[in-house]
Amino acid sequence: QVQLQESGPGLVKPSQALALTCTVSGCSITISHYVWRWIRQPPGKGLEWMGAIGYDGNTYYNPSLKGRTSISWDTSKNQFSLQLSSVTPEDTGVYYCASGGDDVDYWGRGTLVAVSS
């Protein structure tokens, strides 16, 4: 069973960068054909796919985030990370890491991030 756990600060100031880490257990993040995703949900809104890193290290980003997103991994720690730059209060929400092949099979519990001064 794949398990994912998000970690990072719960409060970020506007214009700063948000950094979150997802720790994976139950399988290697280099397992073939798996995609490791970051998804968020602003208050009162639907889920938004932010980006992903594939089992081969290739990255994919939602163009609506206008280049503010960077996803990386540390295979030695079996973790992948999200950086979101120049945050505004509109970036407030619950951030999830998720994984699977073509579909999402596993979700982390999510972590609430508030952007406020």
Spatial separation of the C-alpha atoms in residues 50 and 28, rounded to whole Å: 22
Q: What is the pLDDT of residue 101?
A: 87
Band of pLDDT at residue 19, cut at 50, 70 and 90: very high
Average pLDDT in the 87-104 region? Answer: 95
Confidence of residue 102 (pLDDT cuts 50, 70, 90): confident
Q: Are 30 and 55 in contact (CB under 8 A)?
A: yes
Tens digit of pLDDT for each residue in 22-62? Answer: 999 999 999 889 999 999 999 999 999 999 999 999 999 99
Cα distance between residue 8 and residue 32, in whole Å: 27
CB 55 within 8 A of CB 75: no
